[in-house]
Chain A
Amino acid sequence: MSQLDVAAPAAQVARARTAARRRSIVVGAVLAVLVTALFLLSLSLGHTIVPPADVVAALLGTDTSRTAFTVVELRAPRAFTALGVGLCFGVSGAVLQALARNPLASPDVVGITAGASTGAVAVIVATSAGTGALTSSMVSTPLAALAGGGVSGLVVYRLARARGVVTPYRLVLVGIGVSAVLTSLTSWLVTRASIDDAQKAAVWLAGSLGARTWDDAVPAVGAACLVLPAAAVLARRLRVLQLGEQTALALGVDVRRTRRALVAVSVTGAAVATAAAGPIAFVAFVAAPLARRIVGSTLTVVPAALVGAALVLAADLVGRTAFGAVQLPVGIVTGVIGAPYLMWLLSRPQRIGQGE
């Protein structure tokens, strides 16, 4: 066998790698442009339509008229929350699904969003039933959601570990078990509430971006700024981890620490996002499979985050503007749009959902 025969495949691999990298950069850029466009669009559309030039002027502070107030104080917090929440959900889902090597292992399935929901609903019910000892639920609902999501995520992870190992399969099963408990606790809390609180809880549980202020937007965007780079840095080791635990160990990856860090990233992302906007259906679940389909490679943290942001922004825009006087919560729109899309993917001759 001559030298040339060995060199040719190596060159082929190198070429394929460059092509894949180029493709992922192009796709990332296109997605970033799309997210920016949707972001600006959601600042300009609404009850009154603000021209894009005025939007930019208002954001830069060169315009201080009433339209500027609409853009900066009413629409911008909502749009920023949507952006942050979408990025967080996208990252969280992508990391967890890759870690568990199972498309079912999204934060909605393994109990993180369920824990956040239980926490939030408990506060919604307790604050109005109590004697006013607890302050306005607008302040404490996100905090309770954050605590609930964090605790349930860690409990699931801890329970899924037996004899020092977390198998992906066990993670999903334990997650389903814990979610079932939390979900039924939530519906029990809803039966204990007055009908007004039940309705408030129903809106929150649907996933809503209505009446968001900068207090919601800042944590969501901040978390996205934290979670996205962390996941991008860890992605390299995650890719090795996907080859299997034994292989990863042999290649010199500290499996346990890497996995712990990845779980922390995923739980933080999902919990903060749920705290800011409620358990928006389907975004975390579908973002990574969608991104994988667009990019064509197996692990796609940044594209998944961008897809998540695009989904939330677009869905909120549709829910806000498409139905006239009725404003649908964003979570209902993501479910109604996202689910058929996944169905369509499933019915096509594609990779999604085969084995793994």
Chain B
Amino acid sequence: MGAGMRAWVGAWRGAPVRRTSGRVAGLVVLVALTVLLCLVSLAVGAKAVPLEHAIGALTAYDPALADHVIVRESRVPRTLAALLVGAALGLAGTVTQGLTRNPLADPGLLGVSAGASLAVVLGLHVVGFQDPLGYVWFSLAGAAVTSVFVFLLGSSGPGGASPMRLALAGAATTALLGSLTAAVLLLDSASLDRYRFWAVGAVAGVRLSTLADLLPLLAVGAVLAAGSGPLLNSLALGDDLAQGLGVQLGRSRALCATAVVLLVGTATAIAGPIAFVGLTVPHVARALVGADHRWVLAYSAVLAAVLLIGSDVLGRMVARPGEVQVGVVTAVVGAPFFIALVRRRRLASA
């Protein structure tokens, strides 16, 4: 136990934990933390619910008790939403960074969120959706079209998809789509009114039925992403070496891109464009466990879930009886941590 603790202290000082037993132990601790945060998330809010009522609502539901109804109808859905969205964004960020070999790559920076946003705004403008289930397909389609487009653009021309070309292609696409989004919103104030609450990034008001309908998409994306670890490890060696190791570049890129689109598109449809999670969490995970993508993926998923649930809880605590949306809190909480990390060590440039 003492040695394990020392290894984890070392991880913060810049020496990732290499022993499998240490990595498993860390993962177990993080999962336990996630469960604990989930329980806290059920109890905390505009009306504080005692922990035994929160657990009782799950084990022995009594519709006559107000506390049970609050937990079941409002807090369980938002906690699950935060859990799923967080894990999805963490996985998607890791896959994006591994695939493009770019530590700055993030679904947001590569334009995928902007594509989803524009599609949702068009959905709001043209059809007038009220529920995430209505615009999830728009969000997904927007994410898919944009990511394919950015990748084609970044890899066209000689020299292929260098990290910087991809980042520039993403920035150009984000600017274009952002302008179009702004144009639609300026012409249609009713859409702006709904869009502004979606765009801030929030898990409040998500319905359980919506989550259940979207779960298969997330599950497929998560399975693809989780299985991509060995592939990303090979890709990290460079295209030529990866090919030499028997990786089929085109097929594996398509696989990873599908995973990212499914994860980001669905997560964005549920909670709006939550910036920053996909960018920062993989860096933290890499700092903890090193460059092996199989472990980075696992840690990223759990860490991002912890970040999102924790941020949602915090957002409910700081502005009682109102609340600050989770997207704001993730940025405000996540950024200082990220900046500290940037200052502390040279981020792994892989």
Q: Which residues of A contact B (CB under 8 A)?
A: 102-104, 109, 159-160, 162, 170, 172-174, 176-178, 180-181, 183-185, 187-188, 190-191, 195, 198-199, 202-203, 205-206, 281-282, 285, 326, 328-329, 331-336, 338-340, 342-343, 346-350, 352-356
Extra pairs beyond A104-B171, A346-B157, A355-B162 (16, CB < 8 Å): A176-B279, A177-B339, A180-B276, A180-B279, A184-B331, A187-B201, A188-B200, A329-B186, A332-B182, A338-B175, A339-B175, A346-B156, A346-B168, A353-B165, A354-B164, A356-B164
Q: For A326, what are the chain B residues with a Cβ–Cβ distance below 8 Å?
A: 187
Would B193 and A198 count as touching, CB distance under 8 A?
Answer: yes
Q: Give the distance in Å from the alpha carbon of A207 to the alpha carbon of B175 in the complex.
A: 13
B335 touches which one: A172, A181, A199 (CB < 8 A)?
A181
A332 touches which one: B179, B196, B197, B338 (CB < 8 A)?
B179
Would A178 and B335 count as touching, CB distance under 8 A?
Answer: yes
29 residue pairs of the A-B complex, CB under 8 angstroms, read A103-B164, A103-B168, A104-B104, A177-B339, A177-B342, A180-B334, A180-B335, A184-B331, A185-B328, A187-B199, A188-B325, A191-B200, A199-B192, A205-B182, A206-B179, A206-B183, A282-B175, A285-B171, A331-B179, A332-B180, A332-B186, A335-B176, A335-B178, A335-B179, A340-B176, A342-B171, A346-B169, A347-B153, A354-B165
B280 to A, closest residue via Cβ: A177
How would residues 146 to 180 of chain B score, 1 for a CB under 8 Å from any chain A CB and 0 otherwise? 00000001101111001011011101110110111
Would B342 and A174 count as touching, CB distance under 8 A?
Answer: yes
Q: For B324, what are the chain A residues with a Cβ–Cβ distance below 8 Å?
A: 188
Q: For B248, what are the chain A residues with a Cβ–Cβ distance below 8 Å?
A: none
Shortest distance between the CB of B165 and any CB in chain A (Å): 4
A173 to B, closest residue via Cβ: B342
A104 to B, closest residue via Cβ: B167
Q: Give the distance in Å from the alpha carbon of A188 to the alpha carbon of B187 in the complex.
A: 21
Q: Give the distance in Å from the alpha carbon of A354 to the alpha carbon of B189 in the complex.
A: 42
A184 touches which one: B153, B185, B328, B343 (CB < 8 A)?
B328
Q: For B328, what are the chain A residues with a Cβ–Cβ distance below 8 Å?
A: 184-185, 187-188
Would B332 and A185 count as touching, CB distance under 8 A?
Answer: yes
Q: Give the distance in Å from the alpha carbon of A92 to the alpha carbon of B215 in the complex.
A: 46
Shortest distance between the CB of B275 and any CB in chain A (Å): 5
Q: Give the distance in Å from the alpha carbon of A17 to the alpha carbon of B138 in the complex.
A: 54
Q: For A285, what are the chain B residues with a Cβ–Cβ distance below 8 Å?
A: 171, 175
Shortest distance between the CB of B8 and any CB in chain A (Å): 23
Q: For B332, what are the chain A residues with a Cβ–Cβ distance below 8 Å?
A: 181, 184-185
B339 to A, closest residue via Cβ: A177
Would B173 and A203 count as touching, CB distance under 8 A?
Answer: no
Q: Give the distance in Å from the alpha carbon of A159 to the alpha carbon of B343 in the complex.
A: 8
B157 touches which one: A190, A332, A349 (CB < 8 A)?
A349
Q: Which residues of B contact A (CB under 8 A)?
A: 104, 109, 153-154, 156-159, 162, 164-165, 167-169, 171-173, 175-176, 178-180, 182-183, 185-187, 189, 192-193, 196-197, 199-201, 275-276, 279-280, 324-325, 327-328, 330-332, 334-335, 338-339, 342-344, 347
- Knowing A103-B164, A172-B104, A187-B196, the reply to whether A109 touches B175 (Cβ < 8 A) is no
Q: For A335, what are the chain B residues with a Cβ–Cβ distance below 8 Å?
A: 175-176, 178-180, 182
A181 touches which one: B169, B187, B331, B343 (CB < 8 A)?
B331
Q: For A354, what are the chain B residues with a Cβ–Cβ distance below 8 Å?
A: 159, 162, 164-165
Closest 8 CB pairs of A and B: A335-B179, A339-B176, A184-B331, A342-B172, A162-B343, A206-B182, A187-B200, A353-B165
Q: For A172, what are the chain B residues with a Cβ–Cβ distance below 8 Å?
A: 104
B199 to A, closest residue via Cβ: A187
Q: For A340, what are the chain B residues with a Cβ–Cβ distance below 8 Å?
A: 172, 176
Q: For B338, what are the chain A residues with a Cβ–Cβ distance below 8 Å?
A: 173, 177
A180 touches which one: B180, B189, B199, B331 (CB < 8 A)?
B331
Q: For B183, what are the chain A residues with a Cβ–Cβ distance below 8 Å?
A: 206, 328, 332, 336
Q: For A339, what are the chain B residues with a Cβ–Cβ distance below 8 Å?
A: 172-173, 175-176, 179
Would B343 and A348 count as touching, CB distance under 8 A?
Answer: no
A331 touches which one: B169, B182, B201, B279 (CB < 8 A)?
B182
Q: For A352, what are the chain B residues with a Cβ–Cβ distance below 8 Å?
A: 168
Q: For A332, what are the chain B residues with a Cβ–Cβ distance below 8 Å?
A: 179-180, 182-183, 186
Would B192 and A109 count as touching, CB distance under 8 A?
Answer: no
Q: Give the distance in Å from the alpha carbon of A104 to the alpha carbon of B334 in the complex.
A: 22
- Knowing A178-B335, A180-B275, A190-B196, the reply to whether A173 touches B104 (Cβ < 8 A) is yes
Q: Give the distance in Å from the alpha carbon of A190 to the alpha carbon of B201 in the complex.
A: 12
A198 touches which one: B187, B192, B344 (CB < 8 A)?
B192
Would B164 and A353 count as touching, CB distance under 8 A?
Answer: yes
Would B179 and A184 count as touching, CB distance under 8 A?
Answer: no
Q: For B178, what are the chain A residues with a Cβ–Cβ distance below 8 Å?
A: 281, 335
Q: For A355, what are the chain B residues with a Cβ–Cβ distance below 8 Å?
A: 162, 164
Q: For B275, what are the chain A residues with a Cβ–Cβ distance below 8 Å?
A: 180, 183-184
Would A202 and B182 count as touching, CB distance under 8 A?
Answer: yes
Shortest distance between the CB of A103 and any CB in chain B (Å): 6
Q: Give the distance in Å from the alpha carbon of A335 to the alpha carbon of B118 in the complex.
A: 14
Would B335 and A170 count as touching, CB distance under 8 A?
Answer: no
Shortest distance between the CB of A106 and any CB in chain B (Å): 9
- Knowing A198-B192, A198-B196, A336-B180, the reply to whether A184 touches B201 (Cβ < 8 A) is yes
A159 touches which one: B104, B172, B339 (CB < 8 A)?
B339
Q: For B201, what are the chain A residues with a Cβ–Cβ distance below 8 Å?
A: 184, 187
Q: Give the distance in Å from the alpha carbon of A352 to the alpha carbon of B189 in the complex.
A: 39
A103 to B, closest residue via Cβ: B168
Q: For B165, what are the chain A residues with a Cβ–Cβ distance below 8 Å?
A: 346, 353-354
Would A109 and B171 count as touching, CB distance under 8 A?
Answer: yes
Q: Give the distance in Å from the alpha carbon of A331 to the alpha carbon of B185 in the complex.
A: 14
Q: For A181, what are the chain B residues with a Cβ–Cβ distance below 8 Å?
A: 331-332, 335
Q: Give the distance in Å from the alpha carbon of A170 to the alpha carbon of B104 in the complex.
A: 11
Shortest distance between the CB of A127 and any CB in chain B (Å): 18
- Knowing A103-B164, A177-B338, A335-B178, the reply to whether A348 touches B200 (Cβ < 8 A) is no
Q: For A202, what are the chain B residues with a Cβ–Cβ distance below 8 Å?
A: 182, 185-186, 192
A155 to B, closest residue via Cβ: B339
